[in-house]
Amino acid sequence: MANTISYLVLFYMFSDCLTQCSQNDIKNGDSPPIKTLNFTQIAAQVGYAVNEYDVTTQDAYILKLFHIPGDKTKPVLLMHGIIDSADTFILRGNTSLAVTLSRAGYDVWIGNTRGNRYARRHIYLHPENDVEFWDFSFHEYGLYDLPAIIDFILDQTGEASLSAVGHSQGSTNFLVLGALRPDYNEKVKVLVALSPICFLANVKNVASLMLQSVSILDQIYQITGQEELFGDETSLGQLFRAVCGCKGSYSVCAYGIFFPVAGSDPEELEPDFFPTIVAHYPTGTSRKNAVHVSQLGIKEKFSNFDYQWRNVDIYNSTTPPEYELSNVTMKVALLVGRNDQISTIKDVELLRSKLPNVVEYKIIHHKKFNHIDAVWGRNMYKYLFPEILKVLKNI
Ligand SMILES: *[C@@H]1O[C@H](CO)[C@@H](O)[C@H](O)[C@H]1NC(C)=O
Ligand SMILES: *[C@@H]1O[C@H](CO)[C@@H](O)[C@H](O)[C@H]1NC(C)=O
Ligand SMILES: *[C@@H]1O[C@H](CO)[C@@H](O)[C@H](O)[C@H]1NC(C)=O
Ligand SMILES: *[C@@H]1O[C@H](CO)[C@@H](O)[C@H](O)[C@H]1NC(C)=O
């Protein structure tokens, strides 16, 4: 019942958007949504040259890795969150995190996880034709994608370890890595976890409804045989862009979708910038990844994927094993916001209590700091980035 209601709510939001957008388009004779530039092009606009590399994982996915060269002895890897990409760290141009770190002298590497617009490639599987391509969740991001990316960077720089910044699910991936591949704890000097995701027992309001509604989405997707979620060419991705990418949809899409889910902070995500976000976000992930995230919320445990009746075959146990957080021995800094509806203070404090090596725990000063400000906020170069630089410097 609750599921049906939440699905109706989501449907209502979308249909409302659709009307709003087309009315506005007619009224203003709007130009089509702004063009999606790629990471390298955005960096070039603010005067930064980017190297692009292809990194191949142990299980043959090919991931694009961006690099803004700096002091080779100070590599920093940035990892994006769910249905996001490297772009998120450069969208704000000269006030973005990638540029801020580069300006401070760091050798900045920006990664992508399998399935997004920069990582929809595999040596022998095809994303359109092979459903196996989409058989992954954040488990594989941590188990395969991060090791390949980290080893590539350490090889290029000749360093023994790197610093890392993860936003949202970007930090989850590192927790999985540290739990499953203990030798990588030494390769991460420190993880700065922005709005980290691990436990999702206290997710608020609409974000919680959204987690619950994943099971409905899952059923629809299974029936229709779709495995790619929010990909650039999928109907859901295109619908979203068509609806929210035009001028005038800010009130409906920011106030109707982004703010209820992530926490409201209109000062930090202003109408002028909103179309830029929509041109780049979301990008693809797998159905399985969304389901795995929703399982964290439903079970209130940080566990491997729950295959239900197949668990016994796969895990030799009726329940999936939990990720061993006590094995995540890398240094971790946890930065959270009071107004974050997804990564709530309660859940992050629980994570803090389970991790053996938390070097910093900080509630960001800015009172309305929500789940998306860390990457898209207009003034983060004032509120947040100095905190990140401080952690990186003091390690
Ligand atoms: C980004 O765009 C530039 C210029 O069009 C192109 O050379 C480059 O290959 C593109 N990179 C990616 C990852 O798409
Ligand atoms: C970013 O660039 C704009 C325009 O060139 C400039 O006014 C602003 O001060 C710059 N911001 C930072 C943090 O460097
Ligand atoms: C976690 O650490 C314990 C103690 O060092 C070890 O016995 C166990 O195998 C580790 N788990 C994993 C998944 O590596
Ligand atoms: C499966 O689990 C049972 C009970 O915990 C154990 O006795 C058995 O050795 C396990 N089998 C395998 C193949 O690991």
| pLDDT digits 0-9 by tens, 198-219 | 999 999 888 888 888 888 888 8
Backbone dihedral angles phi then psi of residue 329, each to the nearest 5 degrees:
-90, 0
Query: Residue 182: CB within 6 Å of ligand 3?
Result: yes
pLDDT in tens, 64-87: 999 999 999 999 999 999 999 999
pLDDT in tens, 100-115: 999 999 999 999 999 9
CA distance 297 to 300: 5
Atom of ligand 1 nearest to the CA of 64: 13
Going by CA atoms, what residue is nearest to atom 14 of ligand 1? Answer: 38
Residue 209 confidence (pLDDT): 84
What the block records as the tokens of 6 is 């939440």
Which ligand has the shortest distance to the CA of 326?
A: 3
Going by CA atoms, what residue is nearest to atom 4 of ligand 3? Answer: 327
Residue 61 confidence (pLDDT): 98
pLDDT in tens, 219-239: 888 888 889 998 988 888 888
Question: Choosing from 161, 168, 286, 343, which is the catalytic residue?
Answer: 168
Residue 3 confidence (pLDDT): 41
Percent of the chain with pLDDT over 70: 91
106-110 and 61-68 beta bridge pairing: antiparallel
Which ligand has the shortest distance to the CA of 46?
A: 2
Please tell me the pTM assigned to this model. 0.91
**What is the overall mean pLDDT for the chain?**
91
| Long-range contact set of residues 245-248: C-beta below 8 Å, sequence gap at least 24 | 245/33, 245/34, 245/275, 245/278, 245/279, 246/21, 246/24, 246/25, 246/30, 246/32, 246/33, 246/275, 247/24, 247/28, 247/30, 247/275, 248/20, 248/21, 248/24, 248/25, 248/27, 248/28, 248/30
| Cα 255 to Cα 18, 91, 259, 376, distances in angstroms | 15, 20, 5, 15
> How many other C-beta atoms lie within 10 A of the C-beta of residue 232?
17
Q: At what angle do helices 235-244 and 2-28 cross, to 10 degrees?
A: 50
Counting ligand 1 atoms within 8 A of each CB, the residue from 37, 39, 41 with the most, and so the one to mutate, is 41
Reply yes or no on domain 2-394 having CATH 3.10.20.440.
no
User: Could you say which DSSP state residue 308 is in?
Assistant: G
pLDDT mean over 47-56? 98
Going by CA atoms, what residue is nearest to atom 8 of ligand 2? Answer: 94
Q: Is 365 a catalytic residue?
A: no
pLDDT in tens, 349-377: 999 999 999 999 999 999 999 999 999 99
Q: Which residue type, as a one-letter code, is found at position 278?
A: V
Q: Which residue type, as a one-letter code, is found at position 311?
A: N
Domain coordinates of the chain in residue numbers? 2-394
Query: Residue 356: CB within 6 Å of ligand 3?
Result: no
Going by CA atoms, what residue is nearest to atom 10 of ligand 2? Answer: 94
Atom of ligand 2 nearest to the CA of 100: 13
Asked if residues 113 and 143 have their Cβ atoms less than 8 Å apart, the reply is no
State how far Cα 70 lies from the chain centre. 25
Residue 1 scores a pLDDT above 50: no
Cis peptide, bond prior to residue 266, ω within 30 of zero? no
162-167 and 285-286 beta bridge pairing: unpaired
Query: Residue 51: CB within 6 Å of ligand 1?
Result: no
pLDDT mean over 48-67? 98
Residue 10 confidence (pLDDT): 52
Q: Which residue type, as a one-letter code, is found at position 69?
A: P
What the block records as the tokens of 215 is 């099971």
